[in-house]
Amino acid sequence: MITVQEYLGEKGCEADLAELICLIAEQAGPIRSAFISHQRYATSLNTSGEVQAEMDTWSDTHITTVLAHSGLVSLIASEEQEKVYECRNSTGRYSVVMDPLDGSSLIAVNLAVGTIVGIYEGRSVLRKGNEMKAALYLLYGPMTTLTLSVGSGVALFSQADDGRYLLMEDSITLPEGTIYGSGGERPKWTKKHTSFITALEAEGAKSRYSGSFVADFHQILRYGGLYAYPAAHGKPEGKLRLVFEAQPIGFLAEQAGGRISNGSSDLLDILPEEVHQKTPIYVGSRGIIERLEALPE
């Protein structure tokens, strides 16, 4: 099995970008080690108004510090920081958007959580998702895995005991499938969402929803199906963030032949206006998303 460095070389990945991807992937070790001593909730709220888990802030500070000293990054937009972080006197070629710890409500119950990262070239973080140069997520499960795209398909790596990431699968395709997970409270779902989910269930779809977007998406990437966090009555924009969650995961989904939508159009074509803006998310099998988008509002 080849390493992620060898994979990036074979893909002709620009040297600084390859170095940045590997630097981010290397943070899985310190993050995993920090879980045992950071199990509690902090007393602070993030910009989305959510109580921060200790690991949210620990991971955010850790990754931001590593990137700020790398000389590879000029801006960092993080779910856990109100403002965009400007790396001091950096001529870094790339800007990074990140959800440093996704699924943090699951830390206390030892279920899979992850780190979601998108990388753009240049000094700006409000970009259309299809301009991304690389997207990845680290998944802290029984194995530590890296799911990565540099724009030529999706590859899966597992971290070996010596810290190297070894290629498990390349050119992963997101199949049509019959599992679905939907966030939000069913009584507050819109009529369109309720009837779509009900139709999938009537066709035999099975629910798979853990509370960790990155873990739930990883299942959809493998088995096909749908992850949704929809608009709801009183929450027209849903819960998840366009810049830190939807765009990187959506880039990976579309690189694997899947789709990401807000229910009516491709989320990767949307230019964010505000770093913390939220969006309804439907991500998964192309056929399912196209069927949803064809429904009348």
Interacting residues with Mn ion (CB under 5 A): 79, 99, 101-102
Rounded Cα distance, 224 and 219, in Å: 7
- Minimum Å gap between C-beta 31 and Mn ion is 12
**Of 54 and 99, CB closest to ligand AHG:** 99
For residues 264, 224, 169, 252, the Cα torsion angle rounded to the nearest 10 degrees is 10
Instruction: Please give the order of strands across the beta sheet that includes 155-159.
Output: 85-86, 73-78, 94-102, 113-121, 134-140, 144-149, 155-159, 165-169
- Minimum Å gap between C-beta 16 and ligand AHG is 27
**Of 92 and 280, CB closest to ligand AHG:** 280
Which of Mn ion, ligand AHG, none interacts with 211 (beta carbon under 5 to 8 A by kind)? ligand AHG
Provide the pairing of β-strand 51-53 with 41-45: antiparallel
Rounded Cα distance, 76 and 270, in Å: 20
**Of 104 and 247, CB closest to ligand AHG:** 104
Which of ligand AHG, Mn ion, none interacts with 57 (beta carbon under 5 to 8 A by kind)? none
- Minimum Å gap between C-beta 265 and Mn ion is 22
**Of 11 and 222, CB closest to ligand AHG:** 222
Rounded Cα distance, 74 and 82, in Å: 17
Report the chain's C-alpha Rg in angstroms: 18
**Of 18 and 231, CB closest to Mn ion:** 231
Per the CB < 8 A criterion, the answer to whether 115 and 130 are in contact is no
Rounded Cα distance, 166 and 156, in Å: 8
Which of Mn ion, ligand AHG, none interacts with 130 (beta carbon under 5 to 8 A by kind)? none
Which of Mn ion, ligand AHG, none interacts with 120 (beta carbon under 5 to 8 A by kind)? none
Q: In the bound complex, which residue of the shown chain has the CB atom lying closest to ligand AHG?
A: 213
Helices (H) and strands (E) in the chain, counts: 8, 15
At 27, give phi and psi (nearest 5°).
Answer: -80, -5
**Of 102 and 254, CB closest to Mn ion:** 102
Q: Report the candidate in 82, 130, 163 with the shortest Cα–Cα distance to residue 272.
A: 130
- Minimum Å gap between C-beta 109 and ligand AHG is 12
- Minimum Å gap between C-beta 115 and Mn ion is 9
- Reduced to 3 states (helix: H, G, I; strand: E, B; else coil), residue 75 is strand
**Of 216 and 254, CB closest to ligand AHG:** 216
- Minimum Å gap between C-beta 223 and ligand AHG is 17
Which of Mn ion, ligand AHG, none interacts with 183 (beta carbon under 5 to 8 A by kind)? ligand AHG
Please list the residues that pair with 228 across neighbouring strands. 182, 282
One-letter identity of residue 179? I
- Minimum Å gap between C-beta 227 and ligand AHG is 8
Q: Which residues form the interface with ligand AHG (CB under 6 A)? A: 50, 79, 99, 102-105, 183, 211-213, 216, 239
